[in-house]
């Protein structure tokens, strides 16, 4: 071969050389900061033993070969198609993720259109990545050449004694620990290291012991009622089958679901396996945790207030198999349990299981994937299952477990409605508490009961509604409430951009006082204080509950009876168990009903049902009053009758007609920028690219928008959205991936893609 040519291909072997080239170890690396995509590197001989998939590595990147940290996601011996740069250094002595967890992160990346490295950064807590709560130190061990022949060495007595102490210790010690154990200074240790009889190695040791809380008093098994027993048997059958299965436990509030979870977990840990229990962050109350801690020896609780060091400590204990039950919010689904036996996801309909920043995963979907990968059952529990899960139960993909009764024959509370339309004709109706609700509050307080008032303000309620007939102005194409834009006096559909001038009279009954609604918890608190001046009242919403621990303090005050009326947003609707609450009042059930969101009815049904479940838990019983402009609305009617099945039966056909989830999939693209015009143009461009890449796709696939997002302007940025909808999620994902790869927005415009979005604002 001519010399000349050989030099031309200096760093790349000539193509004809490749055939004879031997296989080599190739590491595939992804970078959290740096270019997207996967990059191959050569693994130099000395690193071969330490490097495993799931370790971080330092590698040269780009023309300048700057050293960048990435994750090694794959390791294989193969012939490379070109000469590869070598890895510089292996950062982690052990893999951060098991092969199964690594595959799960790849699945999440594909599923949610997010770079793999970004998923890895979300899955491995920062405290683990940076070794929080540990420090690097040198540990000493006896050199192999000296092992077993300490007596043959001719050493000064002090040095010989150091070696003997280390040999009896049976493990590596730091120089400090060794000097202390041998009762000497560092001098003999240094001498032994110089002679090569002691070997030093860097290692990470923990600063503190993350000890578990002392177990509270043991609580014994409750005897299950027949419904609970049936549910438990079905779960145990799934556990023993050794196959993956998702079971949907539909049990009314107070039907004893948690007790079933606990007994199922007891069976699983009996076989030396672990369980993960996912609950909404807000349900991680001392009350809930005490129930688990009283039944299991080793519980790890993963909540958002942990320090990095605490999180790291838990992670290590879980990975070593020392924890039986991991209880935590969304991200606990990534707990590195070595032999997982069961996953429970309680309140599965809760939207907090979806992460609202990248990776925008839904913990329920990840749990399904993880349970499948580990061949174990997953139990989803709810009084008001998501329509997605309900649909799967109907088609047989999930197994349905029903617990339609409360434990101990406790009745479900009576729910009544108060029609707000009747009040609007009276000139004297002021404020937001109607006369019948006022009277009921008074009665409850007189009887020594407590009251919960719910106002689901969710910041945003600008639908246009007639106070006389209750009619809500909706988009003729999307059946979504139009949003009132006060500045231009327009009414807009935030799905498809349909637009009309804001009506001055009701299109239905011609009442001239049509208006947009809006009322906050703060105003409600003032009204309650004015109406009941002698009563202690407490407001709970994100504004008053900022400080750490304030949530718990408020609940304690209510539980102990120091507060008679608790009012607040949906924060108070969930999971609380107060036997003395005899009245729940819903100030305006319609606030969630007319949000520009296809799940508005479902949310309203959930909310009213959940808050109703807060009463009637004690011997005094309880009832619920729901104020509404739409008492005949199917969601409210079904909630009044505690009839989930009827609600789902009415709602699903509506979803099916428009191909909304669970019948179709959706990807929401949101663009934001400081110039309205440029952002809008970029959105149009992206919509065009998506439409193009959807060429010849199944019928029912459509691109909606761009339209202004319901929050059309946030923190000074204009926001536009595009919705890609259709029956086949893979088709949508593929189209969006192609489109976004080709999309080159101006510097100032940012975009996100949300697969199966829950947040439509």
Q: Indicate the SS3 state at residue 165.
A: helix
* In the complex, least distance from residue 223 CB atom to ligand ADP, rounded to whole angstroms: 6
Cis peptide before 329 (omega within 30 of 0): no
Q: What is the distance between the alpha carbons of residues 680 and 685, in angstroms, rounded to a whole number?
A: 9
Residue reference for tokens 């291909």: 9
Q: What is the distance between the alpha carbons of residues 52 and 62, in angstroms, rounded to a whole number?
A: 23
Take residue 218 and report the two structure tokens written for it. Answer: 């043991």
Which of 105, 134, 255, 591: binder of ligand ADP (CB under 6 A)? 255
Contact flag: residue 619 with ligand ADP (CB under 6 A): no
Residue 108 interacting partner from ligand ADP, Zn ion, none (CB closer than 5 to 8 Å by kind): none
Contact flag: residue 478 with Zn ion (CB under 5 A): yes
* In the complex, least distance from residue 705 CB atom to Zn ion, rounded to whole angstroms: 9
Nearer to Zn ion, 460 or 498 (CB): 498
Residue 454 interacting partner from ligand ADP, Zn ion, none (CB closer than 5 to 8 Å by kind): none
* In the complex, least distance from residue 707 CB atom to Zn ion, rounded to whole angstroms: 8
Contact flag: residue 225 with ligand ADP (CB under 6 A): yes
Residue reference for tokens 């503190």: 208
Applying CB under 5 A, which part among 1-9, 265-273, 320-328, 491-499 lies near Zn ion? 491-499
- Residues in contact with ligand ADP, shown as a per-residue x/- string from 185 to 224 under the rule CB under 6 A: -------------------------------------xxx
Closest CA to 670 of 648, 687, 692: 687
Nearer to ligand ADP, 170 or 226 (CB): 226
Q: Indicate the SS3 state at residue 720.
A: strand
In angstroms, what CA-CA distances link 691 with 55, 247, 707? 40, 38, 15
**β-strand partners of 414:** 623
Which of 228, 337, 450, 615: binder of ligand ADP (CB under 6 A)? 228
Contact flag: residue 258 with ligand ADP (CB under 6 A): yes
- Residues in contact with ligand ADP, shown as a per-residue x/- string from 392 to 411 under the rule CB under 6 A: ---------------xx---
Contact flag: residue 495 with Zn ion (CB under 5 A): yes
Q: What is the distance between the alpha carbons of residues 35 and 30, in angstroms, rounded to a whole number?
A: 9
CB 274 within 8 A of CB 300: no
DSSP 95-122: -SS-HHHHHHHHHHHHHTT--HHHHHHH
Nearer to Zn ion, 391 or 494 (CB): 494
Residue 258 interacting partner from Zn ion, ligand ADP, none (CB closer than 5 to 8 Å by kind): ligand ADP
Residue 408 interacting partner from Zn ion, ligand ADP, none (CB closer than 5 to 8 Å by kind): ligand ADP
670 CB-contact burial (10 Å; exposed 0-12 / middle 13-18 / buried 19+): buried
Contact flag: residue 341 with ligand ADP (CB under 6 A): no
Nearer to ligand ADP, 278 or 753 (CB): 278
Nearer to Zn ion, 420 or 669 (CB): 669
Residue reference for tokens 């609305």: 633
- Residues in contact with Zn ion, shown as a per-residue x/- string from 302 to 321 under the rule CB under 5 A: --------------------
Applying CB under 5 A, which part among 110-118, 233-241, 386-394, 492-500 lies near Zn ion? 492-500
CB 33 within 8 A of CB 24: no
CB 735 within 8 A of CB 696: no
* In the complex, least distance from residue 235 CB atom to ligand ADP, rounded to whole angstroms: 14
Q: What is the distance between the alpha carbons of residues 642 and 619, in angstroms, rounded to a whole number?
A: 20
Q: Which residues contact 308 (CB under 8 A, 6 or more apart)?
A: 125, 126, 127, 130, 132, 133
Q: Which residues bind ligand ADP (CB under 6 A)?
A: 222-225, 228, 251, 253-259, 407-408
Q: Which residues bind Zn ion (CB under 5 A)?
A: 475, 477-478, 493, 495-496, 498
């Amino acid at each position: 071969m001519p010399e000349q040519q050989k030099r031309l291909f200096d760093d790349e072997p000539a193509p004809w050389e490749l055939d004879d080239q031997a296989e080599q170890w190739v590491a595939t690396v992804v970078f959290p900061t740096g270019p997207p995509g996967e990059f191959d590197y050569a693994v130099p001989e000395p690193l071969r033993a330490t490097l495993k998939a799931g370790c971080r590595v330092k590698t040269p990147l780009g023309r300048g070969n700057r050293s960048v940290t990435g994750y090694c996601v794959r390791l294989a011996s193969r012939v490379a198609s070109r000469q590869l740069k070598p890895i510089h250094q292996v950062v982690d002595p052990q893999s951060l993720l098991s092969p199964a967890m690594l595959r799960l992160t790849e699945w999440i990346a594909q599923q949610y259109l997010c770079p793999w490295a970004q998923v890895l950064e979300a899955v491995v807590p920062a405290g683990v990545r940076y070794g929080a709560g540990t420090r690097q130190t040198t540990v000493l061990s006896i050199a192999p050449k000296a092992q077993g022949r300490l007596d043959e060495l001719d050493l000064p007595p002090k040095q010989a004694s150091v070696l003997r102490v280390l040999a009896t210790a049976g493990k590596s010690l730091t120089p400090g620990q060794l000097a202390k154990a041998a009762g000497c200074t560092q001098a003999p240790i240094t001498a032994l290291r110089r002679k090569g009889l002691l070997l030093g190695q860097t290692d990470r040791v923990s600063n503190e012991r993350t000890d578990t809380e002392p177990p509270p008093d043991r609580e014994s098994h409750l005897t299950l009622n027949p419904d609970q027993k049936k549910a438990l048997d079905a779960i145990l059958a799934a556990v023993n089958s050794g196959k993956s299965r998702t079971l949907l436990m539909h049990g009314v509030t107070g039907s004893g679901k948690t007790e079933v979870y606990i007994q199922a977990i007891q069976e699983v840990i009996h076989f030396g396996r672990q369980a993960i229990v996912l609950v909404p962050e807000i349900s991680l109350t001392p009350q809930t945790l005490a129930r688990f801690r009283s039944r299991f020896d080793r519980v790890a609780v993963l909540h958002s207030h942990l320090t990095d060091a605490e999180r790291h400590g838990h992670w290590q204990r879980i990975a070593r198999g020392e924890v039986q039950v991991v209880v935590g919010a969304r991200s606990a689904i990534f707990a590195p349990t070595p032999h997982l036996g069961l996953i429970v996801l309680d309140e599965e309909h809760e939207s907090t299981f979806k992460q609202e920043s990248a990776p925008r995963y839904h913990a329920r979907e990840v749990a399904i994937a993880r349970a499948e990968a580990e061949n174990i059952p997953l139990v989803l529990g709810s009084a008001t299952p998501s329509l997605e899960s309900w649909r799967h139960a109907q088609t047989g993909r999930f197994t349905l477990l029903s617990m339609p009764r409360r434990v101990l024959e406790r009745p479900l509370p009576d729910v009544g409605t108060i029609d707000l339309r009747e009040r609007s004709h009276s000139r004297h109706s002021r404020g937001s508490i109607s006369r019948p609700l006022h009277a009921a509050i008074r009665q409850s307080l007189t009887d020594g009961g407590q009251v919960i008032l719910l106002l689901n303000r969710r910041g945003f309620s600008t639908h246009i509604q007639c106070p006389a007939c209750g009619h809500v102005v909706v988009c003729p194409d999307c059946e979504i409430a139009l949003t009132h834009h006060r500045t231009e006096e327009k009414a807009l559909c935030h799905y498809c951009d349909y637009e009309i001038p804001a009506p001055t009279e009701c299109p239905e009954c011609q009442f001239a006082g049509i208006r947009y609604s809006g009322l906050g918890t703060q105003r409600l608190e003032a009204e309650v204080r004015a109406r009941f001046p002698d009563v202690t009242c407490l407001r709970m919403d994100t504004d008053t509950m900022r400080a750490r621990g304030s949530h718990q303090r408020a609940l304690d005050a209510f539980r102990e009876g120091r507060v008679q009326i608790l009012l607040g947003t949906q924060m108070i609707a969930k999971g609380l168990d107060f036997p003395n609450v005899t009245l729940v009042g819903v100030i305006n059930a319609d606030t969630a009903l007319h949000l520009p969101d296809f799940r508005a009815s479902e949310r309203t049904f959930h909310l009213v049902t959940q808050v109703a479940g807060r009463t009637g838990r004690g011997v005094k019983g309880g009832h619920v009053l729901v104020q509404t402009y739409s008492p005949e609305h199917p969601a409210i009617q079904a909630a009044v009758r505690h009839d989930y099945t009827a609600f789902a039966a009415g709602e699903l056909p509506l979803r099916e007609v428009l191909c909304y989830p669970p019948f179709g999939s959706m990807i929401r693209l949101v663009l934001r920028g400081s110039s309205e015009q440029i952002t809008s143009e970029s959105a149009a461009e992206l919509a065009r690219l998506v439409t193009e890449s959807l060429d010849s796709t199944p019928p029912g696939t459509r691109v909606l928008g761009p339209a202004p997002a319901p929050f059309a302007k946030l923190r000074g940025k204009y926001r536009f959205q595009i919705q890609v909808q259709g029956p086949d999620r893979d088709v949508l994902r593929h189209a969006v991936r192609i489109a976004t790869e080709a999309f080159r927005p101006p510097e100032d415009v940012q975009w996100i893609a949300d697969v199966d979005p829950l947040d439509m604002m």
